[in-house]
Structure 1
Amino acid sequence: MARTIQSVERAAALLRLLAGGERRLGLSDIASAMGLAKATAHGLLRTLQREGFVEQDERSGKYQLGAELLRLGNSYLDVHELRARALVWTDDLARASGESAYLGVLHHGGVLLVHHVFRPDDSRQVLEIGALLPLHCTALGKVLSAYDPVAHSELAELELTAVTDRTVTDRAELEKELVRVRDRGWAGDLGGTWEGVASIAAPVFDRRRMPVGAVAVTGAVERMTVAGGAADGELSPRLIAAVRDCARSVSRDLGAGRF
């Protein structure tokens, strides 16, 4: 019978312990539950913390699962499956909205476009699959940063560069916007990434209710806002509803159930 590596077994047992029961546990609780000396448990925790698998709450000193586990878990869902599930729904979204529809996922501190449906008119358009968009100003990026802890941690490491004169570069202001995104379930961009262009995005969840991507529509500000608005106008409620319906449909196809 093949020999096992004790330190790996202990690390796996520790992660399972943090995954069940209380959300956060102290060092004494962990050591007692695992039958380990505090020094041994502390060494395991520090190693896992360095790798991002465990995080320590600054105020309580207790430990919880880290964001790196979410990244690994999300890799279980193949991007090709996500794209396949979204094909019909994003086609419907482009047709219903009259605008370009996109599907994006987190990738190397940005948003990777993995699917793009052209605006349903006769205009000349460029396929944007494979483009990497910024997290901090695009509607897709803001949705991912609001719902995905890994995306949020990557955003914290990025410089908030001004792409246009409407790009939010103040970190506190951006954090407030992400709270609003979580509260209402969608994100918008009015000229913050491209002059005269607006976008609306909503999150896609898998069967574990984990955020695995986002869908969006993008078009000229005058078509995307109420009454053909200015750059500070109100985004169209009809388009917001269409994007959210698309995101819910893709999520249900991925097993997220009704929400």
Structure 2
Amino acid sequence: MEIETKQRKTIGSVIKAIEIINYIAESEHEMGATEISEGLGYGVSATYHLLNTLKESNFITQNERTKKYQLSLKLWQLGMKAFSQNNLGTALRQFLVRLKKETGETANLTVLDRKSIVYIAQEESDKLIKMFTKTGATAPLHCTASGKIFLAYMDEIKRDEILKGYVMTKFTDNTITTKKQLFNELKEIREKGYGFDVEERDDDVSCVAAPVFGANGEVLACISISGPHTRFTEANKLKWTEIILQVSKDASAFLNNEK
């Protein structure tokens, strides 16, 4: 069956197959054919045919004992290839260049990796005194602007899981060391859309970050600028937050193919 929408033709069975893959992906356990058909509102017979096709194509696997389905390693392999072909650092490089040009400070791109952030791309400031971090370096969540962004926009269950047993190491006099302090700041970040690190990881170093959103509203990455604390004047902070909010908004739109 073909479905025509806005002069574009799509194949209904392919769409249903993709929806089945997404449905299984969102589950925390193996799923049976009946469970899938009821969850998606498909007929049982059609669901079986789609599952068999996906199984033969090696996109899903079936537990021989329970007869239930889960995603295959082939999808993981495809995901890794997609990552290498659409690396966020490469895709968003233009926005780091723009951010550095408009603020004069070092622009960073970070992603979340369990209980840390990872720097995956950077555009260094042209100024003599500047901040820089090696690509691949990690940093804690509680004392970095990007780390706090990820925590602020995370669902409560995932955040509680990450913070369970998390040690808020004190690096400077400004480091947040209690959950109460942290949660108060996370609430403020959600309200404003950006977050600061004011000499919280290193003395004399400050940072401001904003989120880059994916299609489902999840934070895929954070864009930030870092530099000597002395340059983070009230006037500069006001100007830079406006710039970084616009750049992160444009980066999100770019990733989601919005006009």
Aligned to 1:130: 136
Conservation of the 8 A alpha-carbon contact between 2:129 and 2:228:
no
What TM-score results when the alignment is normalised by the length of structure 2? Answer: 0.65
Asked whether 1:209 is paired with 2:217, we answer: yes
Give the distance between the partners of 2:33 and 2:147, measured in 1 at CA: 33
1:175-215 CA-partner distances (Å, limit 9, x unpaired): 11101100110000111111011100000111222211101
Amino acid at match of 1:105: V
Amino acid at match of 2:225: V
Aligned to 2:237: 236
Conservation of the 8 A alpha-carbon contact between 1:102 and 1:117:
yes
Provide structure 2 residue ranges, at least 5 long, that are not aligned to the other structure. 1-28, 42-78
Give the count of matched residue pairs. 192
Aligned to 2:168: 160
Matches within 5 A, 1:108-187: 108-122=114-128, 127-149=133-155, 150=158, 153-187=161-195
Secondary structure at the residue paired with 1:240? helix
Conservation of the 8 A alpha-carbon contact between 2:208 and 2:224:
yes
Matches within 5 A, 1:96-115: 96-115=102-121
- Structure (1 or 2) with the larger CA radius of gyration: 2
Secondary structure at the residue paired with 1:157? coil
Conservation of the 8 A alpha-carbon contact between 1:206 and 1:256:
no
What TM-score results when the alignment is normalised by the length of structure 1? Answer: 0.65
Give the distance between the partners of 1:12 and 1:133, measured in 2 at CA: 45
Secondary structure at the residue paired with 1:8? coil
Provide structure 1 residue ranges, at least 5 long, that are not aligned to the other structure. 1-6, 21-73, 228-234
1:136-178 CA-partner distances (Å, limit 9, x unpaired): 1100100011112345631343111101111010111111110
Secondary structure at the residue paired with 2:122? strand
Which of the residues 90, 95, 103 maps onto 2:96? 90
Percent identity of equivalent pairs: 24
Deviation at 1:84, TM superposition (A): 2.1
Give the distance between the partners of 1:152 and 1:213, measured in 2 at CA: 20
